[in-house]
Amino acid sequence: MMFYLICGGFLFLLILFMLIEGKRNRINISKLTFKTLPKSFDGYRLFFISDIHRRVIPSRLLKKVRKKVDLVIIGGDLCEKGVPLERIEKNIEHLTSLAPCLFVWGNNDAEVGEENIKKILKKYGVRELSNSTTYIKSEQDQVAVVGVDDLESDYIASSPPHNIFTILVCHFPEVVDHLPDCHPFSIILSGHTHGGQIRLFGLGIAKKGQFIHRPSYIQLISNGYGTTGIPMRLGAPSETHIIHIKRK
Task: Write the CATH number for 125.
Answer: 3.60.21
pLDDT at res. 177: 93
pTM of the model: 0.95
- Sheet strand arrangement including 132-137: 132-137, 142-148, 166-170, 185-190, 218-221, 210-213
Element (H, E) at 63: helix 59-65
Residue 239 CB-density burial (10 A; 0-12 exposed, 13-18 middle, 19+ buried): buried
pLDDT at res. 59: 94
pLDDT classification of 25: cutoffs 50, 70, 90? very high
Domain range for residue 43?
2-247
Q: Assess contact for 156 and 179: CB atoms under 8 A.
A: yes
- Whether the per-residue pLDDT at 43 is higher than 80: the answer is yes
Average pLDDT of the segment spanning 56-60: 96
Number of domains in the chain: 1
pLDDT at res. 4: 67
Q: Which of 174, 141, 136 is nearest to 156 (CA)?
A: 174
